[in-house]
Structure 1
Amino acid sequence: MFIVIEGIDGTGKSTQARLLAEWFREQGREVVLDFEPTRGPHGMKLRESFTGGRLAPEEELALFVADREEHVAQVIAPSLAAGKVVILDRYYFSNMAYQGAIGFDPQEIRDRNEAFAPVPDILFILDLDTDTALARIGGRGDETNEFEKREDLERCRGIFLSLKDEPFVRVIDASKPMDEVQEQMRAEAS
């Protein structure tokens, strides 16, 4: 089973991914819990740029694709072939949203990625209004980046929600208590 968890910053993706992985392990399943960008060479270059000065948008998108190609080949595809549950915190849908918010065509990003990257069995979109997301981001003590501005997050949220009618997409209200969000995710993944 391949599960991806997406949403704007501040929705609780990492926490929910970890809790879902723990639940699957309690069921006796082998789980690979991972995230993008990865800690591989392309992913690390991206991570460094987030705090040390953004790359040109085209270069950034190319690095995301290169990082994902490596991730699919080295982790995702072999894990799925071995019958493991793969849970990702962010995937190409984040590129559709975040790079789409700065002017790239989300459908072109999707097509480019789906040429090599498997579509998840379930895509959980943790949805949260922008003001609440910004309050959460500010409360965790991180330095904000350029995408953690209201207008940018609104555009990103709109792109995520444009996927709501896809058969594999489940939109979850991330304003609910953490355990309720997790309960709904587990019910959908059962």
Structure 2
Amino acid sequence: MKKFIVIDGLDGAGKDTQVKLIAEMYEKQGRNVTVRSHPCSDNKYGRKSKEALLKSGKLNHLLATIYFGLDAIRSVVKYTHDDNVDVLIFSRYILSVMYLPDGINTIIYKIVAFILPTSDCMFFIDVSPEEALRRISFRNEDREMFENIESLRENRLKSKKFTYNWNVIPGDDSPEVISEKIKMKCLETD
């Protein structure tokens, strides 16, 4: 299988920054890199997920998670078998199940992690909720339903149930320090 890398974490963890840095590293090596940042805007599932994330309420919470899952599955189906792709990088992947109600999220995670591809290069950037919120405040975007201190704290705690087989990287460090840790692990597995 091609090189499969996942960067995940809370909103404001720096996922897209790290994806960009990792993609640049592999592109400099002459590798064909495809990046999928979920929810993606190039398909109806990603657009519906983003639409629901910008609203509030339990129904939109559930819709955002379901559409997100369909968006990620679409990316897996479309890009894992593309012979033109050497390195496939996902920003946000199966950890979205942590947003489902407790109990069911653990069951769904185990099923999804068994069915969908995984690799030794799956990273969870463990940013503190306070640092995440600080970073979010500098973005020029509408806030999503989980981008408040209470949700960030709750979801960071929930993430601990799911990241036992992930590479957990401290996320309050500078982007360069985080990137070096990710790059070292990726290069180990090349």
Q: Measured at CA, do residues 27 and 45 of structure 1 come closer, stay the same or move farther in structure 2, by a change above 3 Å?
A: same
Moved more, 141-150 or 46-55: 46-55
1:46-61 alignment to 2 at 5 Å? 46-52=49-55, 55-61=59-65
Deviation at 1:18, TM superposition (A): 0.4
Q: Give the Cα–Cα distance (whole angstroms) in 1 for the partners of residues 174 and 63 of structure 2.
A: 38
| Matches of 2:54 and 2:103, distance apart in 1 | 22
1:3 corresponds in structure 2 to 5
The Cα of 1:65 is off from its aligned counterpart by: 2.8
Select which of 67, 82, 85 maps to 1:63.
Answer: 67
Offset, 1:138 = 1.2
Instruction: Give, as a single letter, the amino acid of the residue that structure 2 aligns with 1:51.
Output: L
Matched residues in 2 for 1:163 and 1:58: separation?
Answer: 19
Report the TM-score when normalising by structure 1.
Answer: 0.84
- Deviant stretches of 4+, over 6 Å: none
AA partner of residue 135 (structure 1):
R
- Larger displacement relative to structure 2 (136-145 or 48-57): 48-57
Count of residue correspondences: 183
> What SS does the corresponding residue of 1:78 show, helix, strand or coil?
coil
**Alpha carbons of 1:165 and 1:110: their partners in 2 closer, same or farther (altered >3 Å)?**
closer
Q: Is the 8 A contact 2:5 2:121 kept in 1?
A: yes
Task: Give 2:97's aligned residue.
Answer: 96
Contact 1:96 1:159 in 2 (8 A): no
Shift of 1:185: 1.0
Aligned pair partner of 2:22 in 6, 20, 32: 20
1:182 aligns with 2:170: no
- How far the C-alpha of 1:172 sits from its partner, in A, is 1.2
Deviations 1:51-101 (A, max 9, x none): 2556444444332332233221112x213x5561111110011x123x14x
The CA deviation string for residues 82-131 of structure 1, in whole angstroms up to 9 with x for no partner, is 561111110011x123x14x546322221342354212331111111111
User: Unaligned stretches of 5+ in structure 2?
Assistant: none
Q: Contact between 1:69 and 1:116, CA under 8 Å: does it hold in 2?
A: no
Q: How far off its partner does 1:31 sit?
A: 1.1
Structure-1 residue corresponding to 2:106: 107
Give the match for residue 169 of structure 2. Answer: 172
Deviation at 1:149, TM superposition (A): 1.9
Provide the residue aligned with 1:36 in structure 2: 38
CA RMSD in angstroms comes to: 2.2
Q: Following the alignment from structure 1 to structure 2, what is the Cα–Cα distance between the partners of residues 157 and 58?
A: 19
Shift of residue 30, structure 1, vs aligned partner: 1.6
How far apart, in 2, do the equivalents of 1:65 and 1:33 lie?
Answer: 17
Equivalent-residue separation in structure 2 for 1:187 and 1:2 (angstroms) = 15
Cα displacement (A) at 1:184: 1.2
Letter in 2 for 1:47: K
Give the secondary-structure state (helix, strand or coil) at the position aligned to 2:54: helix
